[in-house]
Amino acid sequence: MSAENGGAETTVARRAFAVRLRSREQLAGLIVKMPCASLLETAGYSGFDFAVIDTEHGPGDGEMLEHHVRAADSAGLPVLVRVTGSAAGEILHALDAGAAGIVAPHVRDAAACEAVVRAAHYPPRGSRGLATSTRAGFHGTTSVAAHLRDASERTVVIAQLEHGDAVEHAASIAAVPQLDAVFIGPSDLSISLGHPGERDHPAVRDAIERASAAVLGGGEAALCMLADDEPAARAARAAGATLVVFAAPQLIAARLRTLVAALRASSPEVTESTLEVRG
């Protein structure tokens, strides 16, 4: 069925996600790296509100990306794509593949943010190229008018703030019209401040707190933060973040380490006599 007659469940899901985000609902997302089609389906069935396919630090093949968005759609899971930069062509490809929106890394000031927003939206707001023959246009089965209306209502744009010099521009970044959220990236922020990986270093914590306050203090953009576990997620929400994202590789690795450590701790000590009996 076409998107025009209301039969496309994916259109409904993406619009609902955009509305929930803009209404400041508490939403939980999962960052994944391709190939991960079954993981996206599992995340959807498990109740995650959205997922982020990371092509900045993972494979970014166009055909693979489209298949992964399709897998997420099958589980009713809206997907954002973290692109590698702010190039208009890359943003276009992600949205044409059917993504609910994009996450643009390394946004340092309002001018850079404005360029990202323009690339993600059609005229008159932006400069996105038009084609309804794409997956986002239901392969030509929807009208131009319906496609433009859908894109205008549900396209989500998130800017990632992850440099020390961007902290001073956080308020003006958050104030860019039709920017939906600012995602504070602690890893790159820490290395830009000279403390790689030290998220709890006073300078890093101060930068995160100042950026968060600036985002929350002005503009319409929501605050998005990364969490390693449940306590970190609760802390992020207490700090004002309505979007909290977990990185699937770290979650899986942490669980595997815990599982192996528990098994080793409960295993009987292997001695030479034990080995002789087993022999």
Closest CA to 77 of 105, 42, 111, 108: 42
Domain membership of residue 185 (yes or no) is yes
Domain membership of residue 3 (yes or no) is no
Domain membership of residue 258 (yes or no) is yes
- All residue ranges of the chain with pLDDT < 70 are 1-8, 269-279
Active site residues: 57
CATH of the domain at 223: 3.20.20.60
For 83-112, give the DSSP string.
Answer: -SS--HHHHHHHHHTT-SEEEE----SHHH
- pLDDT given at position 277: 52
**pLDDT tens-place string over residues 83-126:** 998 899 999 999 999 999 999 999 999 999 999 999 999 999 99
pTM score, two decimals? 0.91
The number of domains in the chain is 1
- pLDDT given at position 21: 97
For 10-58, give the DSSP string.
Answer: HHHHHHHHHHHHHTT--EEEEEE-SS-HHHHHHHHHHT-SEEEEE-SSS
Domain membership of residue 204 (yes or no) is yes
- pLDDT given at position 39: 97
Domain membership of residue 45 (yes or no) is yes
Q: What residue type is assigned to position 259 of the chain?
A: L
Domain that holds residue 172: 9-278
- Residue 179, classified by CB atoms within 10 Å of its CB into exposed (0-12), middle (13-18) or buried (19+), is buried
- pLDDT given at position 12: 86
The rounded distance, in Å, linking the Cα atoms of 76 and 1 is: 16
Domain membership of residue 41 (yes or no) is yes
- pLDDT given at position 79: 97
Domain membership of residue 4 (yes or no) is no
Tell me whether the omega of the peptide bond preceding residue 124 falls within 30 degrees of 0, making it cis: yes
Domain membership of residue 68 (yes or no) is yes
